[in-house]
Structure 1
Amino acid sequence: MANVDLSTKPPVGVGLRHPHYEAALSRAADIDFVEVHTENFFGEGGASLAVLEQAREHYELSFHCTALGLGSAAGISTQAVTRLAQLVARFNPMLVSDHLCFCWVQQGDTRIHAGDLLPLPRNAEALAVLTDNIDRVQQAIGRPLVVENISTYIDQGGHQWSEPEFLHRLVERAGCQLLVDINNLLVNAHNAGLSAAEDYARAWLDAIPQDAVAEIHLAGYTPVAPGQLAVDDHAAPVSDQAWRIYAHALQRLGNVPTLVEWDNDLPDWSVLLAEATRARDIQRALQAEEA
């Protein structure tokens, strides 16, 4: 176990979704930041940007992209990169992130978006595409991009490296940072039929480049029986299993910012805030142990 500093008070935030706008914006809650999906705010002016203006009166902002398709050999949208850069310049968010995936393909003269976050082969060709696309985004926004590990439902093969090894190479070549999604690790372990999901997640966390991790995501998924496909639906509380892995992640990575996501079957705002409070309680318990 690496020696890390757990004495600081890291930011804890939640994903801000439309049903919670009134509760979140009417008065400040006991959280440090909110995360928004940037594509929902690409329009010129209007009510959506007013929401961001209101939100930053109470909280720091974190921008999470869902459709750049950083691993797309067909390239990424110039319009999307431009709008993202404009948003970043205007609101100066604490983090800007997207996913380690592809979603754009080229068919003849037509570019098609897959509508999902599709996994990449972990090989030299994919690494080169990712590096070029990430560099393009970073040049536009003037800061490192934070890249998230994704949930996968099939393994198409073609890998030269394990996922942690691939992340090491990506950080070195692209100069980006990492977003660790713990729920995605558990979804992947389930779909791979692994009986020791926690052991898998702990080993994965121990193998990634520690100093590159800029954020942790926590979420829950709808439980399914062994052998059935688990979907990263963000429709449930963070599981006890995920909380235990989160404690290990803090010990390994230090007190990096933590976000609780909940996107489907949304609970009351107070329930989401209680999840954020639990994350903070785990941080404090580890700080007390270290002291």
Structure 2
Amino acid sequence: MKTSTLPAQAGTGFKPEHFREIISHKQPVGFFEIHAENYMGAGGPPHAQLGRLRADYALSIHGVGLSIGSMQPLDQDHLARLKALCDRYQPESFSEHLAWSSHDTVFLNDLLPLPYTEETLRHVSDHIDEVQSSLKRQMLLENPATYVTFRQSTLEEVDFLTELTKRTGCGLLLDINNVFVAATNHRLDPHAYLSRFPLEHVREIHLSGHSETVDDHGAPLLIDSHDTPVKDPVWALYRSVLSHTGPLATLIEWDNDVPAWSVLLAEAQAAETLLRQSATGQFSRHKVA
């Protein structure tokens, strides 16, 4: 089984509107990431652009539609298209979300949460095993941004993720913005969450922006919107994590209200600065707790 081999550098999500500027000269990024479902057609401009990009850069493929957390069997047609895409481009990494997004023939435009129970753990483990066996590569699983919790949950999210790595050998994608969003929404401490997170299994980090609003009671409510620069509290958590892990492949996600390439690149370069500092010991080890 192939494991994730992304360089421990900063990368960005690839947006077609940036293509001409990106290929005009070599860009100072370690990799690009794409959403798998945007490239499941046979050809056309998307594949022409991706093929050109793949010739010069490492690639991460990020799935949003496998519905790993569903209680139903995986969609075999979707899995076959995903395998064809990975076989075609041989990405350095493949990742998906700890969420569900389909039921029967209904596909939902969202990544929905799931209760953390032994039954769910068995289903998700089986799905991960099936995906990894089909792709013949390790899958990284991303922690979710959540807005509700379930009374029937019997496991903490960190324990659920840790057990998945033990049962399946999958890696983890640590989305630090998701940690901050969920912790704020549930009135929890993100540092306490990260103090128990199995950082030794993290192979990639995601950073993104979020939107701020209030709930019906006037309490802070954060939305994982991917439409702003990375916020200061998320940068602080990122620095704290790096002080424990050292450099890890780090993606800047900006999927809505996409800015000019220069703005997105500046975010990646800010992450790259912190990666270099963590590699050379320019900042001391921070407590995650």
How does the TM-score come out when normalised to structure 1? Answer: 0.89
Match of 2:136 in 1: 142
Aligned partner of residue 282 in structure 2, secondary structure: helix
CA contact (8 A) 1:205 1:252 kept: no
Aligned partner of residue 58 in structure 1, secondary structure: coil
Q: For residues 96-142 of structure 1, what are the alpha-carbon distances to aligned partners after superposition, in whole Å with 9 as ceiling and x for unaligned? A: 00000112223xxxx21222111111111111110111111111111
Superposition misfits of 4+ residues, deviation over 4 angstroms: none
- What is the 5 A alignment of 1:7-156? 10-106=8-104, 111-156=105-150
CA contact (8 A) 1:193 1:227 kept: no
Q: Distance in 2 between matches of 1:193 and 1:19?
A: 38
Aligned partner of residue 144 in structure 1, secondary structure: coil
- What is the 5 A alignment of 1:162-173? 162-173=156-167
The worse-fitting range, judged by mean Cα deviation, of 61-70 and 40-49 is 40-49
Q: Distance in 1 between matches of 2:91 and 2:194?
A: 26
Amino acid at match of 1:260: I
RMSD over equivalenced CA pairs, Å: 1.6
- Are 2:203 and 1:214 aligned? yes
Q: Distance in 2 between matches of 1:252 and 1:207?
A: 12
Amino acid at match of 2:12: V
- What is the 5 A alignment of 1:177-192? 177-192=171-186
- How many angstroms does 1:272 deviate by? 0.7
Q: For residues 124-175 of structure 1, what are the alpha-carbon distances to aligned partners after superposition, in whole Å with 9 as ceiling and x for unaligned? A: 1111110111111111111110000111111132111111111111111121
CA contact (8 A) 1:164 1:204 kept: yes
Amino acid at match of 2:204: E
Q: Distance in 1 between matches of 2:88 and 2:160?
A: 33
Amino acid at match of 1:64: H
Q: Distance in 2 between matches of 1:76 and 1:94?
A: 23
Q: Distance in 2 between matches of 1:156 and 1:65?
A: 25
Match of 1:276 in 2: 268
Aligned partner of residue 264 in structure 1, secondary structure: coil
Q: In the superposition, relative to structure 1, how do residues 204 and 228 fare at CA in structure 2: closer, same or farther (>3 Å)? A: closer
Match of 2:191 in 1: 202
| Count of residue pairs the alignment pairs up | 274
Q: Distance in 1 between matches of 2:41 and 2:103?
A: 24
- How many angstroms does 1:10 deviate by? 1.6
